Amino acid sequence: MRVVIAEDLTLLRDGLIRLLTAYGLEVVEAVDNGPSLLQALLHHKPDVAVVDVRLPPTQTDEGLRAAVEARTRVPDLPVLVLSQHVEQLYAKELLAAGGGGLGYLLKDRVSDVNRFVDAVKTVAAGGTVLDPDVVNQLLSRHSNNRVLQNLTLREREVLALMAEGRTNAGIASRLLITDKAISKHINNIFTKLGLLPHDDDNRRVLAVLTYLNEMVP
Amino acid sequence: MSGKMGWGRRAARVLAACGRGLTQALLSQFAGVPLLVGSLLSIIFLPLGIGVVTTPLVLKGVRGFTGVQRRWAREWSGVPIESPYRVLPEPQGGLLARIDYCMRLVKDPATWRDLLWLGLNVPVGALLGVLPFALLVNGFGGILVAPFLVALTHAHHLYWILNIPLGALMLAVGLTGSPQIIKGHALFSSALLSPTRRLLSERVDSLTDSRSHVVDASAAELRRIERDLHDGAQARLVALGMNIGLAEQLIEQDPATATALMVEAREHSGLALTDLRNLVRGIHPPVLAERGLDGAIRAVALSMPFPVEVRIDLAGRPQAPVESAMYFAVAEALANVAKHSAASRAWVQLAHDHGRLVALVGDDGIGGADPAAGGGLAGVERRLAAFDGVLVVSSPSGGPTTITMELPCALSSPKT
């Protein structure tokens, strides 16, 4: 799996390269600024990019903007954005164009190596991975809106964990219920969100996106 | 210096002065007089009720008119006139709020100085305004018409002969002095339309006061940061180092314990990061650094438990300290809405206008917010005062609440 990394701090960049290489991913290019990132993304069209939000030359949200820009030119280019802090605003902008293959995580999550590599692979496979902090903010703060009111408490929990990018087995172990029960909940969620079986290939992503669009006005 | 000026430019300057003078003379009669009479009648009729509706309208007209005069004084004659008005909240729907608004307007000394200026400007504006034009017309009349009349009538009438040097004199004064006459009017306006000395000395007092608040507040803030780092992140990093050191020792003979220690170490590193992140957010929120006021306020709005409508119209970025002060002020105002107002929705407006950054935060809650009661809003007031800014709260019991926050500042050119 070919990866492009964008991180301006050498220590972290080398760490990321070592980590992903150790898990059998191939880092095709590692850049340290926004313009080179855009170039690298358009040139390599990697299977997934791991991108820091704040990059030179502006030291603002250069990485985020390069990622959004690259995705308008190469639709569905999988990008996992890492940040020292998470903002609903950034999550909304990333997801505004729709499509899967997106992730937005706190940098801290890198230290849970297994889950981080899972997240990278999920994004590469077209899934959506959101930081639990973002999901929590959304859940706790916008609890009285249309879509969510139709869902039971348990279904909301399941949807939140889906938004974090967990698999059915992951959700099951987290909520301490069986895989079968999870599938049942997920089917109910699909029905309530009006997602029909024929777009089954991407219903998971669509469910998360619907949820986000509803949550982030 | 004027000697080096070309004839064309000099003529243009004189003609401009004539046109400007005539404009001011006409306005002093046809706009100034109705505004003056209208304002006085409105204020007199305040007790009868009708004035409550008309006073804000007429005084808005007066401020518009004097505002134009201030601008002209600066643009035409290089006489800067600062705006002297007190900050007012937007008028609200309720009758009591309207009356309160009128009283604030009437109590503002700048209102009365405006009206005095309007009155004095009736003769002064007319005289100084017409003068450049009159000098030129009479001057040309004297030197062009008088010799013709002398020739025509063959009369050596002393009156006509005297008219020639008199005309020349008037023309000379008119040609060289017209811009100065217009400047004279600007100086006359400046005397009444500028902030008074008392206003300025009050401002110095409040600045001195707010500076000591700022010094205290920033010292307290530094102590808090030091304590937070010491008790939080630093302690966690020490624990982290200890755990890793111990795991190093145990990794051969007791891998299970070593692994457990490493897991613990990782958790400590996560907690240390969370501590640091919260600390950084309190000092300078990253989203503010990355997106400026616009993005940062939108981000705060998104995190509120109710819908917040955000309208921001900024052509550039204010200086960093002002930006930060305004961000924390708006964030605190919104947090206040969330905590106390029982509002179902709120709105934020932010604009830069006449050298001031103005933010309005409104909600449809129960009202009764009062910065004098201390707490969050009092903190905002102090924070803004440090930059010579002001906080005005309009929050009648029963709502709605509107909070106006103003900071004087310039905007840098927009980021490209």
pLDDT at B386: 81
* Whether pLDDT at B1 is above 70: no
Do residues B141 and B170 touch, judged by C-beta distance below 8 A? no
Phi-psi region of B408 (alpha: psi -120 to 50; beta: other; left: phi over 0): beta
Q: What is the ipTM of this complex?
A: 0.78
If you compute the radius of gyration of chain A from its CA atoms, what whole number of angstroms results? 17
Q: Do A111 and B307 touch (CB under 8 A)?
A: no
Mutation site for B-interface testing, chosen from A87, A90, A216 by largest number of B Cβ within 10 Å = A87
Residue of A nearest to B285 (CA): A85
**Beta carbons of B286 and A60 less than 8 Å apart:** no
Q: Do B298 and A89 touch (CB under 8 A)?
A: yes
> CB B286 to CB A85 under 8 A?
yes
Q: What is the pLDDT of residues B406-416, one digit of tens each?
A: 998 878 765 44
* pLDDT at position B238 over 80: yes
Answer whether residue A34 shows pLDDT above 90: yes
**Residue B368 amino acid letter:** G
Identify the helix (H) or strand (E) that includes residue A82: strand A79-83
Band (pLDDT 50/70/90 cuts) for residue B121 is very high
Report the gap between the CA of A112 and the closest CA in chain B (Å). Answer: 8
Distance of CA B409 to the CA centre of its chain: 8
Neighbouring CB atoms inside 10 A of B205's CB total: 10
Is the pTM here over 0.80, yes or no?
no
Half-sphere exposure in the Cβ direction for B77 (13 Å, CA): 24
pLDDT in tens, B264-307: 999 889 889 998 998 898 888 999 999 999 999 999 998 888 88
Neighboring chain A residues of B274 at a CB cutoff of 8 Å: 108
Query: How deeply is B216 buried, as exposed, middle or buried, from its count of CB atoms within 10 A (0-12, 13-18, 19+)?
Result: exposed
From the list A84, A89, A112, which residue is nearest B302 (CB)? A89
pLDDT at B367 over 60: yes
Cβ atoms A138, A179 nearer than 8 A: no
Residue A49 burial (10 A CB sphere; 0-12, 13-18, 19+)? buried
Dist. CA B79–CA B86, nearest whole Å: 22
Asked if B289 and A60 come within 8 Å (Cβ–Cβ), the reply is: yes
What's the average model confidence in pLDDT over B88-107? 75
Tens-digit pLDDT profile for residues A39-51:
999 999 999 999 9
B349 contact A CB<8A: no
pLDDT value of position A100: 79
**How many Å apart are CA A78 and CA A104, to the nearest integer?**
11
Centroid of chain to Cα B244: 56
Cα separation, B325 vs B331, whole angstroms: 10
Which residues of A have a CB under 8 Å from any CB of B?
53-54, 59-61, 84-85, 87-89, 92, 107-108, 111-112, 137, 140-142, 216-217
Lowest mean pLDDT among A193-207, B112-126, B356-370, B387-401: A193-207
What residue in A sits closest to B263 (Cα-Cα)?
A112
What tens digit of pLDDT does each residue of B132-182 get? Answer: 999 888 888 888 877 777 777 766 667 677 778 888 888 888 888 888 899
Per-residue model confidence (pLDDT) at position B102: 84
Cis peptide before B400 (omega within 30 of 0): yes
Contact yes or no for A54 and B286 at CB 8 A: yes
Of A53, A84, A88, the CB nearest to B303: A88
Shortest Cα–Cα distance, A69 to chain B (Å): 16
Q: Does B305 touch chain A (CB under 8 A)?
A: yes
pLDDT of A21 over the 80 cut: yes
In this complex, is the C-beta atom of B290 within 8 Å of any C-beta atom belonging to chain A? Answer: yes
B299-342 pLDDT, tens per residue? Answer: 999 888 888 999 999 988 888 889 999 999 999 999 999 888 88
Helix (H, G, I), strand (E, B) or coil at B352: strand
- How is residue B272 annotated by DSSP? H
β B356-363/B346-353 pair status: antiparallel
